[in-house]
Amino acid sequence: MGYLDGRVAIVTGAGRGLGRAHALALAAEGAAVIVNDPGVGGDGSGNDASPAEQVVKEIQDAGGQAAANLDSCADWKAAANLVDQAVDTFGSLDILVNNAGILRDKMSFNMEESDWDAVIQVHLKGHFAPSRFAAAYWRGRSKAGEEVYGRIINTSSESGYIGLVGQVNYATAKAGIVGMTLTMARELERLGVTVNAIAPRARTRMTTGSFAGYRQPEEGGFDDRAPENISAVVTWLATPQAGHISGKVLACYGGELELQSPIEHEAGISNGAARWTVPALIERSPELFAHGRPSGVLPLREGIGS
């Protein structure tokens, strides 16, 4: 018996890296999985059916159920078809893991319009489009008087609320995913749907540069950058036991799990009933930083990757 027996999941970007690990982990707990991946390169170019088909084979060889979907999750009609495929193939949809992403890192002053558009399209629209059609499916079931089991697990990044140099397109998309997560968690709560986001650190094609100096563990040792470390968190959020958790952002790496508050009230100053003036702000602004973060740019945490 698995925690997800009888459930149906979609995992986007599931042909490699984190998505592959998520698909295998969900299937190991009994979920039938739609493995979505058009097989593009790390920058979004090209296409290759073999990664998705290989993951499907791995799941089926282990006794699970899976089917491949080779469309782009950032395509509106394809996202609708992705949800339809899950329902038509396995009878329902219970879990959506939005994982697909690409990188086109450049400094802001060197970034081309195409670099910006491609990353925003795949990450931000590629998260929203499947979520929109999954939400519509669950709302339809609720209106029909049926019990709804719904889980959306999004993939953000610490880059989105810390700001990693050379990733203005990626960080913007990942910050947008946090906003999407919080909003949809509120909108779908009454339907019985939870919406959460993870901010993972793991070794994948997208993070090769971030972990360039990383040493592989000795044989049999704990690999704290393995994608499988993250998949346990994703699978847990998909279970009935996590049904009370929604609208949260969880940073996860190795054996660590951190509840994040990316945007929070930290300090404030008041000028009473009077409008602020520039001289008053110059005089009193140090109060904002007296007991909290320094007024300059924050140093990066050691080990943070994409």
Indicate the number of domains in the chain: 1
Assign residue 167 the CATH number of its domain.
3.40.50.720
> Which residues are the active-site residues?
157, 170, 174
In the chain, the amino acid numbered 41 is G
252 domain residue, yes or no: yes
Q: What is the pLDDT along the chain (306 residues), one digit of tens a residue?
A: 899 999 999 999 999 999 999 999 999 999 999 999 998 766 666 677 899 999 999 999 999 999 999 999 999 999 999 999 999 999 999 999 999 999 898 999 999 999 999 999 999 999 999 999 999 999 999 999 999 999 999 999 988 888 888 899 999 999 999 999 999 999 999 999 999 999 998 775 554 444 444 455 556 666 787 889 999 999 999 999 999 999 999 999 989 999 998 777 788 989 999 999 999 999 999 998 887 666 666 565 555 544
141 domain residue, yes or no: yes
222 domain residue, yes or no: yes
Which residues have CB under 8 Å from 224's CB, separation 6+? 217, 253, 254, 255
Closest to 156 measured CA to CA, from 104, 189, 195, 191: 195
* 141: three-class secondary structure by DSSP: helix
Tell me the backbone φ, ψ of residue 33, rounded to 5 degrees: -125, 130
287 domain residue, yes or no: no
298 domain residue, yes or no: no
> How many other CB atoms are there within 10 angstroms of residue 61's CB atom?
8
Q: Are 51 and 16 in contact (CB under 8 A)?
A: yes
In the chain, the amino acid numbered 158 is E
111 domain residue, yes or no: yes
Distance set, CA 67 to CA 18, 161, 169, 222, 230 (Å): 18, 35, 32, 31, 23
Predicted local distance difference test score (pLDDT) of residue 297: 63
Predicted local distance difference test score (pLDDT) of residue 28: 98
Please write the tens of the pLDDT for every residue from 141-181: 999 999 999 999 999 998 888 888 889 999 999 999 999 99
Q: Which domain holds residue 21?
A: 8-260
2 domain residue, yes or no: no
271 domain residue, yes or no: no
The 3 state secondary structure assigned to 206-244 is HHCCCCCCCCCCCCCCCCCCCHHHHHHHHHHHHCHHHCC
